Amino acid sequence: MNLSFFDQFSSPYLLGIPLIALSLLFPALLLPSPDSRWINNRLSTIQSWLLQLITKQLMIPLNKNGHKWALMLTSLMMMLLMINLLGLLPYTFTPTTQLSMNMALAFPLWLATLLTGLRNQPSTSLAHLLPEGTPTPLIPALIMIETTSLLIRPLALGVRLTANLTAGHLLIQLISTASVALAPTLPAVSILTVAILLLLTILEVAVAMIQAYVFVLLLSLYLQENI
C-alpha cells in the first residue's frame, strides 16, 4: 500500500519507451499556432495578455542588459506552469515531481547566470563572497559560508519545486483514498473528506502556479546579481 502512493511519481512506459518526453512536449500544443494575424480568437487574446503580464513581472527586477533573457525566462515560466497544472488532472504524470528534471533545468540556468557575471564583471561577482566591513578573523569563514550558499542555489531551486509538488500530490491521493475507504461505513465523514479534498485541490492549483513563478523569479534575481 505504501509503495502504491509513490507509483504516480514513476515515469510511465509504453512499449518500453518512457513517456516523460511526451509529457514535456504536450503543453506546447496548448499554445497558439503561428498565423498571419496577431490575434485569432478570445483564447489567443487571453494567452497573449498572460504572456505579456508574466514577461512584465519577470523583467521588473532586471535592468536593460537582462531583458535579453526575456524569451527564455518567459518560455520556462509557461512550460513549468502548464506542466504543473496538467499534472493535477486525473491519470496524468507530472514531470516536475522528478528531482532529476528540476535539477536539469536549475543547474544549467544558474551556471549561465554565474558565468555571465564572471565574464562581464568578475570583481563585482567575486565581491559578493565577502560582505563589506567584515572583520579580518572572520574573512575565511564568511568566504566559505557565502561560497556554500552560492553553490547550493540550484539544489534549493530543484528541491523546492519537487518537494512542494510531491507533497501536494501525496496529500491529494491520501485524502481521496480515505474518502473512498470511509464511504461504506461512515458516509458523513466521507462527504466531509471529499469537501476537504476539493479545497486541497484548489490550494494545489495555486501552489502549482506559485511554484512555477518562484522558480523563474529566483533565476531572474540571480541574473540581476550578475549583470
Span 165-192, average pLDDT: 87
Indicate the DSSP class of residue 59.
H
Q: What was the pLDDT predicted at 5?
A: 59
Q: What is the mean pLDDT of residues 181-191?
A: 86
Residue, of 149 and 124, whose pLDDT is higher: 149
pLDDT value at 176 more than 80: yes
Whether the pLDDT of residue 51 is over 60: the answer is yes
**How is residue 37 written as a grid cell?**
494575424
Confidence band, pLDDT 50/70/90 cuts, at residue 160: very high
pLDDT score of 88: 85
Q: Are strands 17-18 and 13-14 parallel, antiparallel or unpaired?
A: antiparallel
Give how far the C-alpha of residue 168 lies from the chain's centroid of Cα atoms, to the nearest Å: 14
**Angle, CA 97 vertex, CA 95 and CA 98 arms, to 5°:** 75
The answer to whether residues 89 and 83 touch, using CB atoms and an 8 Å cutoff, is no
pLDDT number for residue 97:
86
Cβ atoms of 82 and 30 within 8 Å: the answer is: yes
| Reported pTM | 0.79
